[in-house]
Amino acid sequence: MYRASGHVHRDAGPGVRRQVLALDAARYGNRELARAIARVAVRHERDDPWVVQWATGNDLDSRLRYALPVPAAVVVLATVVADDAALAVAGCRDGTLHAWDLATGGRYGQAVPAHPDAVTTLATTVLEGRPVAVTGGFDRTVRVWDLARGDLVATCSTGADSWVKHLAVGLADDGRPVVVGACVDDVVRVWDLAALSQHSEPVTLRTGFVSALATAVLDGRGVVVTSHSPEPGATDLITGEETVRVWDMSTGREFCTLGDRPDEPPEFADQSYDRAAEVDGDDGDDGDDPDRETRQCVSLDLNARAHFLVTDPASECPMAVSANAYEVHVWDLSTREQVGEPVAAGFVETAAVRVLHGRPTALLASAHGAVAVWDLSTQRPSRPPLTGHKAPVRGVSTAVVDGRHLAVTGGDDGSVRIWDLDGETETGSRLTGHTGSVTAIATAVVDGGCVIVTGSDTGVRIWDLGGDGQLGEPLTGRTTAGPGVDLLTVGTADGRPTLLTRGERHPTVRVWDLTTRQELHGRSTSAYSSPSIAFFATVDHRFVGVTGEGRVWDLTASRWIGVQPRQRGALALETLAGRDVLLTSCGAEGVHLWDLATGELLAPPLTGHAGEVRAGATGTLDGRPVVVAGAGRTVWMWDASSGQQLGAHAFPSRVGGLTMAPDGRLVVGFGADLAVLTPRH
């Protein structure tokens, strides 16, 4: 549970740690432990206004070992094994380079200012027994770094008119490590890694436009594998053909083109699974035994834009995986043919390849933050996807530590995550159902029971507020609008609990009877699809739409009502102490509470929070009116009459929405999860 939100605990005080640990215990389904943690006294900390009652765990994964924060988005990532240490290395958008020990999660060495701008390409290898990272950026240099010392080992210039867009390391015919870079001048350059400090001239491969790059060993020779998709703007990127070519890295001449079957395909080492051999040979060094077989594959290169290509640079695993924005291709380098048909896989950002328990396996990272684990022989998922990233995954790599298969991922959420691919199936009850982020939340009373209504890109679902899980199937209607929901609210129409939703991709308003789960006729119309509406609410049992400026549109009477507030950034329109009130916040300004009928400011500005407020609500706690607001990863609470801050509650990811139930319970949407907090008594 500590690891689930380790990125929060590392820099937090004991009060925040207590809150997040209790929340994560509830997310794992252990409510008893959540209550026990919440009861722990913390010196110099006042008690929280709430304690967690239950929470969903969509963003949890029992295989996650560590979440390692970095100062900027992770652009490229790799692993390397040297001196019995397995390392994860990440290059970031701010130009820094970071390394961690995969076994402990601790930092390895110091952060390195690798380039003035973003580290755009990265590869790792072992040089004279020491782990090194090879980096490229927009400054037209390739740099080699000693990861233990943080020292610059060598620098190589790509020329005044060129820079490296794809980078890999490999082995020459005599076993020497080399650096391979595909440059924007349509030339691939191969440098002798050990001789870079002597400014040796590279071998040049005049390949033409390269969209992705990797290295491999084919028939005992070091080769460069390149992928050639149409140059941007030249042809249709969807229908254009992709070509994979193989080059001799010593001579610079083309070895073959995949798809042209050779007369006598080269023989490769047996790929049967042997964990002991795999662990001992993880760094790719075959030692003194020329007959020793290496039974592993590692990722070498990635391209997060249109294409990527991954192979095995250190052994004779004859598998290559390539992809564009729409499909994945698997190649057999020994036969030079494609394995099976291309598989539609959405927008795959990057991948890694490894032999996992005797099966060739690929890790495919998507733009939605999940990482699929594929069996390449069947081209089907072999394990549940790795979940937890809150943004697209840009880098993925693999390693074996103490006999455990690990995956390392990094992405735009600014974290590097380490996963145990041999982890057991998760245990404990979990409220699941949404496969994507929860985009809208509301509470309601249906047939005497309190429920939560959630909307996402997979539809609308209804949950028991007491934690008994999902109630029935997702709502489906007779309209042609897609399932995605970006706005919803609950009110009363003709004395019945009613739900109002707007589609994310098709901005059509739909109205549902929550008791019968039927869509109401005559109310679902595109006339209500104003794009300026920020959220829905109810006033005097009538549905209204509220714009970002705080103007209120009566959907029944088709007219503006109330007084527009003197602050932009409308967050909520609710009834508090018998008044219809608007809650607003703009930028770094405080939170304001306005009377809808008069435009009067009802309380002093509510301040003390950090960051921009993205969600807000009002309610009653212990008989007094309160205001709650979500900013970043924290929910703040104030007394609506005096403006005094009453407390705050931390969450492991950004708060996207919240509301208060009539009994004082608080419902919070954070990341792709929900939590219900009950008042502390």
- Residue 470 has a pLDDT of 80
- Secondary structure of 204-215 as H, E, C letters: EECCCCCCEEEE
Question: Per-residue pLDDT for 515 more than 70?
Answer: yes
State the average pLDDT over residues 88-106: 92
- Residue 340 has a pLDDT of 76
Cα 554 from Cα 374, distance rounded (Å) = 51
Cβ neighbors of 674 (< 8 A, separation 6 or more) are 55, 56, 431, 438, 441, 452, 454, 463, 667, 668
- Residue 404 has a pLDDT of 75
DSSP string for residues in 614-655: EEEEEEEETTEEEEEEEETTEEEEEETTT--EEEEEE-SS-E
Question: Per-residue pLDDT for 431 more than 60?
Answer: no
Question: 23-61, pLDDT tens digit by residue?
Answer: 999 998 888 999 999 989 888 777 678 889 888 887 787
Cβ neighbors of 82 (< 8 A, separation 6 or more) are 126, 129, 130, 131, 283
Nearest to 391 by CA among 416, 419, 411: 411
Q: Which of 176-185, 253-262, 429-438 has the lowest mean pLDDT?
A: 429-438
State the average pLDDT over residues 73-92: 89
Do 223 and 266 touch, CB atoms closer than 8 A?
Answer: no
Do 538 and 491 touch, CB atoms closer than 8 A?
Answer: yes
SS3 555: coil
- Residue 119 has a pLDDT of 94
Cα 346 to Cα 227, 343, 484, 505: the distances in Å are 19, 9, 17, 18
Strands of 96-101's sheet, edge to edge?
A: 74-82, 85-92, 96-101, 112-113
Question: Tokens 């043919």 correspond to what residue?
Answer: 337
Cα 72 from Cα 111, distance rounded (Å) = 12
SS3 188: strand
Which residues are paired to 247 by β-bridges? Answer: 224, 254
State the average pLDDT over residues 268-286: 33
- Residue 477 has a pLDDT of 57
- Residue 219 has a pLDDT of 77
Nearest to 177 by CA among 212, 131, 210: 131
Question: Per-residue pLDDT for 200 more than 50?
Answer: yes
Position 402 confidence tier, pLDDT thresholds 50, 70, 90: confident
Question: Per-residue pLDDT for 435 more than 70?
Answer: no
Q: What is the mean pLDDT of the chain?
A: 76
Q: Where are the beta strands (DSSP E) in 508-597?
A: 509-513, 518-519, 533-539, 542-547, 552-554, 559-561, 570-576, 579-584, 592-595
Question: Per-residue pLDDT for 427 more than 50?
Answer: no
Q: Which of 137-151, 200-214, 461-475 has the lowest mean pLDDT?
A: 461-475
Position 96 confidence tier, pLDDT thresholds 50, 70, 90: very high
State the average pLDDT over residues 173-183: 86
Cα 236 from Cα 357, distance rounded (Å) = 40
Cβ neighbors of 502 (< 8 A, separation 6 or more) are 485, 486, 487, 488, 508, 509, 510, 528, 529, 533, 536
- Residue 288 has a pLDDT of 41
Cα 312 from Cα 29, distance rounded (Å) = 40
Question: Per-residue pLDDT for 272 more than 70?
Answer: no
Position 302 confidence tier, pLDDT thresholds 50, 70, 90: very low
Question: Per-residue pLDDT for 304 more than 70?
Answer: no
Question: Tokens 């003035």 correspond to what residue?
Answer: 116
- Residue 20 has a pLDDT of 95
Question: Per-residue pLDDT for 271 more than 50?
Answer: no
Question: Per-residue pLDDT for 286 more than 70?
Answer: no
Position 174 confidence tier, pLDDT thresholds 50, 70, 90: confident
How would you label 483-499 residue by residue, b for 16+ Cβ within 10 Å and e otherwise? bbbbbbbbbebeeebbb
How many percent of the chain have pLDDT more than 70? 78
| Helix, strand, coil percentages for the chain (3-state, nearest 5) | 5, 45, 45
- Residue 659 has a pLDDT of 84
Question: 338-388, pLDDT tens digit by residue?
Answer: 777 777 666 677 777 777 777 778 888 877 667 888 887 777 788 778 877
Highest mean pLDDT among 70-84, 90-104, 318-332, 524-538: 90-104
Exposed, middle or buried by CB within 10 Å (0-12, 13-18, 19+), for 474? middle
Do 237 and 306 touch, CB atoms closer than 8 A?
Answer: yes
- Residue 466 has a pLDDT of 63
Cα 173 to Cα 37, 132, 192, 650: the distances in Å are 59, 21, 12, 56
Cα 599 to Cα 85, 469, 604, 626: the distances in Å are 64, 41, 14, 19
Handedness of CA 105, 106, 108, 113 (dihedral sign): positive
- Residue 88 has a pLDDT of 92
Question: Tokens 């009110």 correspond to what residue?
Answer: 491
Question: 535-589, pLDDT tens digit by residue?
Answer: 888 888 788 888 888 888 887 777 889 999 988 889 899 888 888 999 999 877 7
Highest mean pLDDT among 131-145, 508-522, 598-612: 131-145
State the average pLDDT over residues 503-531: 66
- Residue 270 has a pLDDT of 30
How many percent of the chain have pLDDT more than 90? 14
